Amino acid sequence: MDTSKRSFEGAGPSGPPMKRQNDSGGVEELVDEQFEGVPENLEDDGEDVDVRLLEEDLELHLGEAGRNWKRPDPPPQDPATDSLAFQQLDVDYFIGPPNQQLYRTDLSEVPILRMYGVTEQGNSVCTFVHGFEPYFYIEAPRSFGPDDCDSLSAQLNRMLGDRNSKGGRQSKFCLGVQMVQKQTIMHYQPQKSRAFLRITVATPNLVTQARGMLEHGVNVDSLQRHMSFVTYESHVLFALRFMVDCGLVGGNWVELKAGTYNVLNLEDPRKQSHCQLEAHVHYSNIISHPAEGDWLKLAPFRILSVDIECAGRKGHFPEAEKDPVIQIASLVTEQGQSKPLVRNVMTLDTCAAIVGAEVMSFAKEEDLLKRWRDLVIETDPDIIIGYNICNFDLPYLIKRAETLKVHDFPYWGRNRKMRLRIRDAQFSSKAYGTREYKEITIDGRIQFDLLVALQRDHKLSSYSLNAVSAHFLGEQKEDVHHSIISDLQAGNEETRRRLAVYCLKDAYLPQRLVDKLMYMYNYIEMARVTGVPMSFLLTRGQSIKVFSQILRKAREKNLLVPNQPRMQGANGDGVAYEGATVLDAKQGFYKTPVATLDFASLYPSIMMAHNLCYSTLLPPDRVKELSPEDVLRCPTGHCFVRVSRAKGILPEILEELLGARKRAKADLKAATDPFMKAVLDGRQLALKVSANSVYGFTGAVIGKMPCLEISASVTAFGRNMIDHTKKLVEERYQRKNGYEADCDVIYGDTDSVMVHFRVKDIGHAMELGREAADFVSKTFVKPIKLEFEKVYKPYLLINKKRYAGLLYTNPDHYDKMDTKGIETVRRDNCQLVRTVVTTCLEMILINEDEEGAKAYVRQTISDLLMNRLDLSLLVITKALSRADTAYAAKQGHVELAKKMRKRDPATAPTVGDRVAYVHIKAAKGVKAYDKAEDPIYALEHNLPIDFQHYLDHHLELPLQRLFAPMMNNPKELMCGAHTRSIALATPSTHSGGIMRFAKVRLSCLSCRTPLPPGVSDLCEHCRPKEVEMYHRSLGAVNELEQQFSALWTQCQRCQGSLHQDVLCTSRDCPIFYRRKKVQKDLGEAHMLLQRFPEW
Amino acid sequence: MDVDLEGPTGQPAALDDMMLGTSDDDAFRLQRATATYINKDERFRIEKRTYDNQYAQLYYCRLLKMAPRLKQRIEKQWPGVAVTKILDLPENQEVAVVGTLYKEMKLKPSILNEYNKERGIETLTGHTGFVSDDDSLVLEDESARMALRGIDAGQLVTGVVAAVRGVSVANGEFHVKDILFTGPQLQQPLLEATDGDKYVALVSGLSVGDEAGEPARVALLVDYLAGLLGSLPEQEQVAKVVRTVIAGGLLHSMEPLVQAAPQAKQRQQAAALVPIKDMDVCLTQLVGAMDVDVMAGATDPANHALPQQALHPCLLPGAVTFPTLHRVTNPHEFEVDGVTFLGTSGQNLEDIDRYSTETERLPMLERLLQWGHLVPTAPDTLTAYSFPDHDPFVIDAAPHVLFAGNQPAFATSLVEGPEGQKTRVVCIPKFSSSGTLVLVNLRTLKVQPITFDARMDI
């Protein structure tokens, strides 16, 4: 539904990590990408009934399925002779009674893993994996012998038993302690391995408990000593543990060889899932195929795209406790197909038919919900997508069903007896900021909320579905205001049909966006590269991905990852290290080419070149133990062993990632099949992102494995390299060395250096750039490489992190205009600023017409002051993110929302909406926050716009910044003749104030002398100018008539109907205000024209 | 072209010939013929305008008015085929559906493109022709739309009300076997002419103020119509011209005046006004001689949206003093001696030209008669007033003469309808480029183009 789409705007990109209330203890704990809290917490309190299988069997009476709903029937499968291969998409586990056939045990409850996937034929598979036991490691205490294992095991068993006595059924908790030879990943370890204890427990939640006990300290019975331990790999999610151990990566193909598994077919009553095939297997019999060659393909999995509409009450955002769900649109698409298989809309109350879609109408909301549940079960989607579904649509449905007491509604997960579960969660990450969200567990069906994905991957000025579709698909979306939705619902079957069409369109857009942005390919490849399940990619941050890779690599090397106690002062400000360096910008407008030298993958290559890793770090006290040639001392003073001594695993991971990327790129070039291309492109992108996130992982203070020695060293090397490059380049490219001119490094930032060679020719600058890059590269350790990438000409350098230029990668023509940090996209600006800045940049850079740009600015300012600009350019929007009582300081948009609620509660913005406003003029002393006004209201009531405010507060600063490198006094632009004539709107009588007592008398259209009664157009003296004045009025009318027509017919095209009025109230659409303003202006212009009498 | 012309054709009236024949005695003796005249522009006149309406009403009224006509035709043409609404479409069964056509065109310009980020890159490549190979049609009735397949979108345009016969298939597309339009409506019978031949002169595109034009030719035209030129037989014929209709294009452009900024120099302003004064002088001369209907055109100082209202009297201070000046709307409908005329200043064809594959103007104009609508592309791509309760552009009765002004070339044909309707279809060429005036014989509906040539080299 439309309100949902506006309910949140992207969280700030780098907000500080927030405190979070820990569910279990109420202890405030600082977390980054907290993951213990997520599925594990269900285990932490063993009383969560929902997780267990429900006792009573849920009887689903499915209705007759619609066209294309069902998956094709699976071919007969004989587990003795046929192997079963499928692409697994999700892995989870549950606690249940053991399958004695595959896993002999005397435990009453064991963890059973489930892999959900799809076969090549498009059949859904759920594989139950038995026999995989949770475990972790501790370092074996000195003098601990193999004989002590049983004693420790018994002791742990007893202690865990005490804590879980009320559980009752379970007979054993600790399954065993085993001595193994491993080594820790932390710090350089000269000896190959030492003794560790592997502790195996019955269920995953016991890992957390046992870890807690061991970390806090226990009296080890056999040694008669109180000891506390560092635990290893005790913080690995159970599902990830399984995947790592079995060599599974997210989204890869899995095969069960004939004779190693058994299978339940479609109609088997013992089946626990809704999948077509249900297999049971012991974990040791799983064959995981790396995503290569034939196993690169994607299975034809099913994607369900959903949108719901609710009938909100006037002035309120819909609440599941009160407002009914009136429509649910569902589209099912098979991966790889361009058209959906199923287009269905379910409506409350009758609805006229829709061409090309199934319409199902229901008299009772309960029936609607149930039927939709059945649709999900029957169409059996693997992935559920939508726009803001995780925070709105899906929780709303579940809560609504709860309110209506439809108890059998929340069972559309893949497991027959498993309820869907919702909990509030918070996600906080340095890279993505903090946001609150609802976590819904739908077993076996991945949720892919496009809003979340877009907020992660793209910086946009607005994330409304309308803005997003305008940005990516290049089309505006019809936006029906929620107050109208209720009216349409209350109308007849035709109006409901109207709504249903709108709802279907909204459900289709996410699918089209997913296709357009190739999300399925990119995300599956990301899962394959980093080894985490797909579902982690949206709900977790960057670090789990790196962590998964480190775990895999460490396992290969027989290394263990310690669970580090949280770092001291880990509240984000205690431990800080110096970041990247930014060279001072030499402000100016450079008309000759500026070459840019970039370090390719700067941080990864530093880590590789200098062998920086957890496993190569030398604690200061141990530096002396090694010969100096084996030790690398970083600019920060930290020491690492050199490659000759031991190769770090981070460098190795990075080498593999970058090597794989090179291969993927080469394959991409060679590939001809578009699907293959999409997959490979997704892969190379995923590899690049992954390589770059390794550095961040080591620097995330509140992450899983922060190691500031590494991250600080990396940045220190980076800084040195930038300075070094600057020095080398400036020394070499000088007249005295035979070059044309003395070069100048004008700017440098993190991984790039801008060199002004002072040559005229672009080609020449490129040559010099290439030569300089090679020359400087030679002085660095491999694989660090300085690359020449591009030339800017002209180049406008404003200050640090703000520049613009025309980018050339070949000397003949420019590729694009490149800007950074300039007000071309910022969302809190009005469109005017964006338009003016962009146009100026185009004139300055592309046309090289500085004077023209200045003239344009003056003209625009004059147009602004004369009220000749399109109103929508002046509209500012801000999100009303909280209830207005929650805002401490008064703010314009909040006050306006209050005002609007008094005027008409139905259309007033509610929490989550964006409030659009313009600044109006008001009497002296009126507070700034009272000057915000609804643009439509201001238009209708002739409220004067405060143009000066826009000039002073919106235009002035960006323009001064922009022109500062080009002129001595950019303030000149803001004053002068063009600012002297201004338009004053005549307040209308109903705007109140003194105008209520004023008498309107017509004045001459030319000279404004009051006219005698009976004359409406011109005074005596101006009569000769009649034709001229008439023409001018006519010109205005004609201009507006054309706009009126163009705007309203465009809206008709957008809504896709000629015979129905346009309802759209999308305030994000650039023409929304404009068409309104034109309507009004045209009426006025016409009135003026009418004042010329017909003789 | 159907050769149904009368009089000496092909030979332009040469300047010398006309100069020679000037004989004052004869001219004074000739009496101009008269005819009855009824103006039928009522429905095109808009007294009070409001802009609160959207365009949906206009389309809706159009469909409402034309659907019964189509249903009648379906009964005759496709007997036994059931007419159904799109929402009730049965699958795999042949039915007929009545609705408004909408043409999906990817090249159609949109005002939203102004807001696209990459401005300047998409420069307008060729102003005319937004047609591409993958244009397709949809049909919309009161409540739903369906995509049409198996039909060439090329010559059809948005806004035409039509009936399609075919089968709906599973994906919601409709496979068209045949398409039907209202065809020409009934016509009022022609009266038996009792007093011999009479003519109505049709002219358009005088383009006063065009610097590249030939002002002398306009003067010749006026003199000719006023009966001041030509030999006696010619003057005798001119005397039978009862009325001149100027189908738009008096001025070359109204740009200079609109553009002249308020602060512009006095002289500049005065210069901009010159063509208007010239136009008034021309018209004054002409209305001195006979009744003249003046329609506004795309380049004239009238409102832009169709129907264009009559020119304001202040623009023609001289001519308005004559009762023989009739400032009329565009489109314009009238009746002379029982012969009905309907026509526009040509914007309708201009717009269809941009949005269809048809390149000839005459078939376009003929098609309007078949479609039963004068300006189908309004309001989609042609600016029109948003009528709230009727569509004045629906052709209710087949006129005897259907004309469009400001066309690139003269063309004519006689279209006969199924009920014996006969309509003379005339493309009036732009006078400024062709020098051609068209005479329509009220008795025979035959037409005669008369071309003036004022070049001195002959």
CB A22 within 8 A of CB A41: no
The stretch B268-278 carries a mean pLDDT of 78
Q: Examine residue B136 and state whether it is found in any structural domain, yes or no.
A: yes
Interchain contact A1030–B (C-beta under 8 A): yes
Q: Is A451 exposed, middle or buried (0-12, 13-18, 19+ CB in 10 A)?
A: buried
- Which one of A473, A1045, A1072, A1095 would you mutate to disrupt binding with B, by most B Cβ within 10 Å of its Cβ? A1045
Phi, psi angle pair for B100, to nearest 5° = -95, 135
pLDDT digits 0-9 by tens, A449-460: 998 888 877 777
CATH of the domain at B127: 2.40.50.430
Q: Predicted confidence band at B457 (pLDDT cuts at 50, 70, 90)?
A: very low
The segment with the largest mean pLDDT, out of A83-87, A678-682, A811-815, B206-210, is: A83-87
Q: Examine residue B66 and state whether it is found in any structural domain, yes or no.
A: no
Q: Examine residue B8 and state whether it is found in any structural domain, yes or no.
A: no
A1047/B111 CB distance under 8 A? yes
pLDDT digits 0-9 by tens, A324-361: 999 999 999 998 888 888 999 999 989 888 877 888 99
The stretch A517-526 carries a mean pLDDT of 86
User: For chain B, what is the domain count?
Assistant: 2
Residues B124 and B202 in one domain: no
pLDDT over threshold 90, residue B127: no
B74 contacts: CB under 8 Å, gap ≥ 6: B81, B83, B96, B98, B163, B165, B180
| Greater model confidence, A259 or B10 | A259
pLDDT digits 0-9 by tens, A706-748: 888 888 898 888 888 888 888 888 888 888 888 888 888 888 8
Interchain contact A1015–B (C-beta under 8 A): no
Q: What does the alpha-carbon distance between residue A555 and residue A531 come to, in Å, rounded to a whole number?
A: 14
Q: What does the alpha-carbon distance between residue A946 and residue A940 come to, in Å, rounded to a whole number?
A: 16
Q: Predicted confidence band at A57 (pLDDT cuts at 50, 70, 90)?
A: very low
Q: Examine residue B39 and state whether it is found in any structural domain, yes or no.
A: yes
A1058/B102 CB distance under 8 A? yes
pLDDT over threshold 50, residue B19: no
Q: What does the alpha-carbon distance between residue A627 and residue A635 come to, in Å, rounded to a whole number?
A: 19
In this structure, of A560-574, A637-651, A939-953, A1050-1064, the range with the lowest mean pLDDT score is A560-574
pLDDT over threshold 60, residue A642: yes
pLDDT over threshold 90, residue A136: yes
Interchain contact B50–A (C-beta under 8 A): yes
| Residue B124: per-residue pLDDT | 39
Nearest-CB residue to B315 (from A354, A1027, A1038) = A1027
In this structure, of A176-180, A621-625, A1070-1074, B217-221, the range with the lowest mean pLDDT score is A1070-1074
| Residue A582: per-residue pLDDT | 75
**Shortest CA gap A616–chain B (Å):** 50
Interchain contact A816–B (C-beta under 8 A): no
Contact list in B for residue A1048 (CB cut-off 8 A) is 54-55, 379, 386
Nearest-CB residue to A1094 (from B110, B168, B313) = B313
Q: What does the alpha-carbon distance between residue A689 and residue A169 come to, in Å, rounded to a whole number?
A: 47
* Radius of gyration of chain B measured on its C-alpha atoms: 24
Q: Which residue of A has its CA nearest to B383?
A: A1045
pLDDT digits 0-9 by tens, B391-411: 999 998 899 999 999 999 999
Phi, psi angle pair for A629, to nearest 5° = -70, -15
Q: Which residue of A has its CA nearest to B268?
A: A1028
The segment with the largest mean pLDDT, out of A828-832, A870-874, B104-108, B157-161, is: B157-161
**Other Cβ atoms within 10 Å of B380 Cβ, number:** 23
Interchain contact A1062–B (C-beta under 8 A): yes
CB B412 within 8 A of CB B426: yes
Residues B111 and B245 in one domain: no
pLDDT digits 0-9 by tens, A264-286: 876 777 888 888 889 999 999 99
CB A616 within 8 A of CB A823: no
The stretch A809-824 carries a mean pLDDT of 80
CATH of the domain at B24: 3.60.21.50
A673 contacts: CB under 8 Å, gap ≥ 6: none
The two structure tokens encoding residue B283: 């018209």
pLDDT over threshold 80, residue B213: no
Interchain contact B275–A (C-beta under 8 A): no
B262 contacts: CB under 8 Å, gap ≥ 6: A1032
In this structure, of A457-461, B20-24, B273-277, the range with the lowest mean pLDDT score is B20-24
**Shortest CA gap A1013–chain B (Å):** 20
| Residue A40: per-residue pLDDT | 35
Q: What does the alpha-carbon distance between residue A345 and residue A331 come to, in Å, rounded to a whole number?
A: 9
Interchain contact A587–B (C-beta under 8 A): no
Among B136, B165, B180, where does a domain finish?
B180
Among B141, B156, B180, where does a domain finish?
B180
Interchain contact B146–A (C-beta under 8 A): yes
Contact list in A for residue B86 (CB cut-off 8 A) is 355
Interchain contact B387–A (C-beta under 8 A): no
In this structure, of A451-460, A518-527, A939-948, B258-267, the range with the lowest mean pLDDT score is B258-267
pLDDT over threshold 80, residue A5: no
Report whether the peptide linkage leading into residue B331 is cis, meaning its omega lies within 30 degrees of zero: yes
Interchain contact B110–A (C-beta under 8 A): yes
Residues B328 and B388 in one domain: yes
Nearest-CB residue to A1041 (from B100, B143, B305) = B305
| Residue A18: per-residue pLDDT | 36
pLDDT over threshold 50, residue B122: no
pLDDT over threshold 60, residue A197: yes
Nearest-CB residue to B304 (from A1032, A1038, A1095) = A1038
Residues B213 and B129 in one domain: no
Interchain contact A1037–B (C-beta under 8 A): yes
Contact list in A for residue B329 (CB cut-off 8 A) is none
A1049/B379 CB distance under 8 A? yes
Q: Examine residue B56 and state whether it is found in any structural domain, yes or no.
A: no
What rounded mean pLDDT belongs to chain A?
81
Q: How many CA atoms lie within 13 A of A666 on its CB side?
A: 6
Residues B255 and B159 in one domain: no
The stretch A928-950 carries a mean pLDDT of 81
pLDDT over 90 for what percent of chain A? 16
pLDDT over threshold 80, residue A1069: no
| Residue A537: per-residue pLDDT | 84
| Residue B424: per-residue pLDDT | 93
Measured N-to-C along each axis, helices A649-670 and A674-699 cross at an angle, to the nearest 10 degrees, of 160
Contact list in A for residue B159 (CB cut-off 8 A) is 1058
DSSP state of B13: B
Residues B303 and B432 in one domain: yes
Interchain contact B64–A (C-beta under 8 A): no
| Residue A119: per-residue pLDDT | 93
Q: Predicted confidence band at B20 (pLDDT cuts at 50, 70, 90)?
A: very low
pLDDT over threshold 60, residue A17: no
DSSP state of B44: G
Contact list in A for residue B88 (CB cut-off 8 A) is 353
Contact list in A for residue B318 (CB cut-off 8 A) is none
| Residue A569: per-residue pLDDT | 45
Nearest-CB residue to A1035 (from B57, B173, B258) = B258
pLDDT over threshold 70, residue A521: yes
Interchain contact A1034–B (C-beta under 8 A): yes
Interface of A with B in 478-497 (CB under 8 A): 494, 497
CB A158 within 8 A of CB A145: no
Interchain contact B269–A (C-beta under 8 A): yes
Interchain contact B17–A (C-beta under 8 A): no
Residues B259 and B119 in one domain: no
The stretch A595-624 carries a mean pLDDT of 88
Q: Which residue of A has its CA nearest to B260?
A: A1032
Q: Examine residue B29 and state whether it is found in any structural domain, yes or no.
A: yes
Which of A416, A109, A71, A439 has the alpha carbon at shortest distance from A274?
A416
| Residue A51: per-residue pLDDT | 39
Residue-number span of the structural domain to which B95 is assigned: 78-180
Interchain contact B258–A (C-beta under 8 A): yes
Residues B306 and B157 in one domain: no
Interchain contact B102–A (C-beta under 8 A): yes
Q: Examine residue B69 and state whether it is found in any structural domain, yes or no.
A: no
Q: Examine residue B105 and state whether it is found in any structural domain, yes or no.
A: yes
Residues B39 and B87 in one domain: no
| Residue A824: per-residue pLDDT | 62
Interchain contact A1046–B (C-beta under 8 A): yes
Which of A140, A209, A143, A147 has the alpha carbon at shortest distance from A174?
A209
| Residue A431: per-residue pLDDT | 56
Beta bridge partners, B416, equal B422
Cα distances (angstroms) measured from residue A853 to each of A248, A967, A1043, B396: 59, 12, 26, 55
A1031/B301 CB distance under 8 A? yes
Q: Predicted confidence band at B344 (pLDDT cuts at 50, 70, 90)?
A: very high
Residues B100 and B237 in one domain: no
pLDDT over threshold 90, residue A254: yes
| Residue A823: per-residue pLDDT | 65
B386/A1048 CB distance under 8 A? yes
Q: Is B278 exposed, middle or buried (0-12, 13-18, 19+ CB in 10 A)?
A: middle
pLDDT digits 0-9 by tens, A653-672: 999 888 888 888 888 888 88
Residues B132 and B43 in one domain: no
Contact list in B for residue A474 (CB cut-off 8 A) is 116
The stretch A415-438 carries a mean pLDDT of 72
Q: Predicted confidence band at A42 (pLDDT cuts at 50, 70, 90)?
A: very low
| Residue A565: per-residue pLDDT | 67
B52/A474 CB distance under 8 A? no
A158 contacts: CB under 8 Å, gap ≥ 6: none
pLDDT over threshold 80, residue A24: no
pLDDT digits 0-9 by tens, A585-598: 888 888 888 999 88
pLDDT over threshold 90, residue A1029: no
Interface of B with A in 66-85 (CB under 8 A): none
Nearest-CB residue to A1045 (from B89, B171, B384) = B384
pLDDT over threshold 80, residue A781: yes
Which of A561, A538, A553, A559 has the alpha carbon at shortest distance from A457?
A538
Residues B277 and B366 in one domain: yes
| Residue A189: per-residue pLDDT | 86
pLDDT over 70 for what percent of chain A? 87
pLDDT over threshold 50, residue B133: yes
The stretch A1010-1016 carries a mean pLDDT of 78
A1062/B144 CB distance under 8 A? no
Q: Predicted confidence band at A884 (pLDDT cuts at 50, 70, 90)?
A: low
pLDDT over threshold 60, residue A322: yes
B312/A1028 CB distance under 8 A? no
pLDDT over threshold 90, residue A127: yes
Element (H, E) at A253: strand A253-256
Contact list in A for residue B373 (CB cut-off 8 A) is none
Contact list in A for residue B89 (CB cut-off 8 A) is 355
pLDDT over threshold 80, residue A321: yes
| Greater model confidence, A18 or A505 | A505
Q: Which residue of A has its CA nearest to B57?
A: A1059
Which of A134, A56, A52, A41 has the alpha carbon at shortest distance from A97?
A52
pTM over 0.80: no
What rounded mean pLDDT belongs to chain B?
82
| Residue A573: per-residue pLDDT | 43
A1059/B56 CB distance under 8 A? yes
Q: What does the alpha-carbon distance between residue B437 and residue B217 come to, in Å, rounded to a whole number?
A: 11
pLDDT over 90 for what percent of chain B? 24
B112/A476 CB distance under 8 A? yes
A1030/B312 CB distance under 8 A? yes
Among B156, B180, B204, where does a domain finish?
B180
| Residue B7: per-residue pLDDT | 53
The stretch A579-589 carries a mean pLDDT of 79
A1045/B63 CB distance under 8 A? no
| Residue A12: per-residue pLDDT | 35
**Other Cβ atoms within 10 Å of B378 Cβ, number:** 26
B383/A846 CB distance under 8 A? no
pLDDT digits 0-9 by tens, A975-996: 777 777 776 655 555 555 566 6
